[in-house]
Structure 1
């Protein structure tokens, strides 16, 4: 890395000598988003606060591991909600689409496909998942067409979708819960089998560190190529070290959560392993749904920042009239955004259904609130034109942390909803203040 990054250019010198305090120079040199840093600080305060209030139960490997799994489905949908809100639209139907596609996938693998292919056929989970993705995409496309070509406001279209698809969920099975799910499908929900273990977790962590370093080096090369100012070399090392430390720290925490004793004992008996005196410690490692959410986040970030489609989305959000005059097919971009949102809802439905090992009529209720709140807390402006995929995923973690902490404290569900609503209103107010000061 040192051979690749050169520090002798005049741009480095100018970037490395900003005026002001030491802290201000540090943030200017590293280009760390102070708003995102503030959100991380708020998250840490929430964690420490709940850890104290719960008597040391919150910041444990078990709870943090469960927290990551519980966050996955909302985080997936929040990445799509960023693009929706950036274009000055809204989608209130995501929870109902999740419930409907989850029920369809449940029926496909619990009733329909086994009659055709036989029970435990290896293709059942794949066909069920593909069916859910296609239906989710078609529902999103339908919403997008009505919004873009019929001129119906997205608020009304998706509010209607919230009611329609929630009702359709009931009609699929006449209100019955569908269970159990295919064993392979259940891997997407986490649990003992739906985790990759300690060894593979470390491998994934190391690969992520390599990806971070490669991304920083590549970004620096691109800046040099187009004659943009570059960060000082020490700032690049700080960012790489910080990113790797966060990744490896998360892997270490995941590996500290071990299989439950009864499951580990059955595993030992099935494999003729002698039970040690201190018990058999088998690490869960990173959960599969967490890896799915991270993969979705990476892909969505690439779409939003590297593809022409992403640039069109932000151009429309910044000034719809100017975008249309520039030749952007704004209507088709809107359709694609809602179609993508539908596919993401289906992915979230797969994670949720697999985690519950059942498809229920109540699945996904109020998830639209958490998804919108996650996007807004993560820095997506309801005025359009501004949003962050990583921020939305971090916002989902904040929302789930609040809910998890309140559950550990034994706070009733109605009061939990009051807190979530208050947090959402506060986040929008802070966004308004931030935008007013930045003008």
Structure 2
């Protein structure tokens, strides 16, 4: 087979350009909507929306919801729903906050600033998240209680478990190392950002051409070589462009002077430094890679999508769908714990209202990203893009001066509209 072979008859070039690239039309639609949204907000805010500073803030604000949205893809793909993710995040946050400010110092004698404190507290949060998620999955899979009811109850139960764990108090400030995962308190700087960006760009290009070679070796149809090169170029430009924008956001002079004074040094004349990639964004990238590998390259991922597409046939083929449900909700719990690390570290403390309404944002992100509520269809990158669209919408409205209640009205309306679009799209495509 020729290296440039394309299946099917050749159509007119102008009409067939995107089909030759074999890009997901839903993905293109989401990217187009995101670009339009950014341009509109940039216009109404007199150019303040697309500044490096706002893009930096937007990226760290998106991370927590985006991490949970990747897990919500698996939940919805298996024809379930999880309304408790915001409350579960709050419980995990409370567990980690109490572990590092009370339990470890008081019970184990580990003083504040001990190097083990942040890691033990993160482990405690992960254990709590996985245990609660697995318990939800057990109730759904083995006891036959509908996921809507289990997680609706969990929305109330775990929110107030978090309240009782902390006696309703704000707990903080959290450990300094722990705060690195929050955003502005933890960034890679210019040099390491470029290094990581270069590695990511190279990995993206290698992945695209490796997939091409695998298809050719199995005699599957492939895109023309120019189309592969164009897609690889777009991926590299997007990655390096994002890094360049974040590297353009300079640390304020007052913050630099404070850091130099803390070191007992005088800041050199004209010295400047930039934030670079936030550590929280790096965590999101790592989660996205792992979840994508699980979805596409593992038996667990194949079982998840098979169970969502046809549960009866999957069970008849020997798959334990009840245990599969436990695993899916345990993964969701682990991701809620990771999101709790990012969210509480960004705030530098645990608060009672942390994660409030996150269930709405997470479900909306997954649905806007193309996850079908009927099950069997969804992508990790779509959910992350959906989270970015949701956060851009909220941030843009906040910059324009829209009140918070109206912001939630718009978010709810967008969720309903996204589901309607999904229904119309599947009617047209026959999915």
Q: What's the TM-score once normalised by structure 2's chain length?
A: 0.97
Seen in structure 2, the aligned counterparts of structure 1 residues 75 and 23 have a Cα distance that, compared at 3 Å, is farther
Question: Which of 129, 142, 160 matches 1:136?
Answer: 129
C-alpha deviations, 1:266-287, integer Å up to 9, x for none?
23444645543xx432010000
1:6 is matched with none
Count of residues in correspondence between the two structures: 427
Q: Which residue of 2 aligns with 1:217?
A: 209
Tell me which residue corresponds to 1:252: 244
Instruction: Establish whether residue 162 from structure 1 lines up as the match of residue 135 from structure 2.
Output: no
Aligned equivalents of 1:184, 1:268: Cα separation in 2:
19
Counterpart position of 1:85: 76
Unmatched tracts of structure 2, length 5 or more: none
CA distance in 1, matches of 2:83, 2:27: 25
| Counterparts in 2 of 1:126 and 1:23: CA distance versus 1, 3 Å | farther
Please tell me whether residue 205 in structure 1 is matched to residue 197 in structure 2.
Answer: yes
CA separation in 1, counterparts of 2:125 and 2:390?
A: 26
Counterparts in 2 of 1:313-352, with a 5 A limit?
313-352=304-343
- The one-character-per-residue Cα deviations of 1:234-274 (angstroms, maximum 9, x if unpaired) are 11111111100000000000000111221112234446455
Match of 1:239 among 225, 228, 231: 231
Q: Deviations over 1:98-146 (max 9, x none)?
A: 0010011011111221232111000000000000000000000000000
Is this contact kept in 1: 2:3–2:225, CA < 8 A?
no
Indicate the residue corresponding to 1:5 in structure 2: none
Does residue 195 of structure 1 match 2:195? no
Matches within 5 A, 1:38-57: 38-57=29-48
Q: TM-score, normalised by structure 1?
A: 0.95
**What SS does the corresponding residue of 1:10 show, helix, strand or coil?**
coil
Answer yes or no: is the 8 Å Cα contact 1:18–1:25 preserved in 2: no
Report if aligned partners of 1:114, 1:120 keep a CA contact under 8 Å in 2.
no
Name the SS of the counterpart of 1:285 in structure 2.
coil
1:173 CA drift (Å) = 1.6
Q: Distance in 2 between matches of 1:164 and 1:395?
A: 28
**Secondary structure of the structure 2 residue equivalent to 1:368:** helix
Match among 288, 297, 303 for residue 294 of structure 2: 303
1:175 is matched with 168
Q: Are positions 1:127 and 2:120 aligned together?
A: yes
Report if aligned partners of 1:96, 1:165 keep a CA contact under 8 Å in 2: yes
Counterparts of 1:40 and 1:13, CA distance in 2: 28
The CA RMSD over aligned residues, in Å, is 1.3
Corresponding residue number in structure 1 for 2:285: 294
**In structure 2, how many angstroms separate the alpha carbons of the residues matched to 1:96 and 1:24?**
48
Separation in structure 2 between the aligned mates of residue 250 and residue 37 of structure 1, nearest angstrom: 18
Residue 59 (structure 2) pairs with residue 59 (structure 1): no
* Cα distance in 1 for residues equivalent to 2:318 and 2:52: 52
Secondary structure of 2:150 counterpart: helix
* TM superposition shift of 1:18: 4.8
Q: Secondary structure at the match of 2:50?
A: coil
Is 1:22 matched up with 2:26? no
Q: Of the candidates 88, 95, 99, which is equivalent to residue 86 of structure 2? A: 95
Structure 1: gaps of 5 or more residues: 1-8
Please tell me whether the aligned partners of residues 98 and 346 of structure 1 are also in contact (alpha carbons under 8 angstroms).
yes
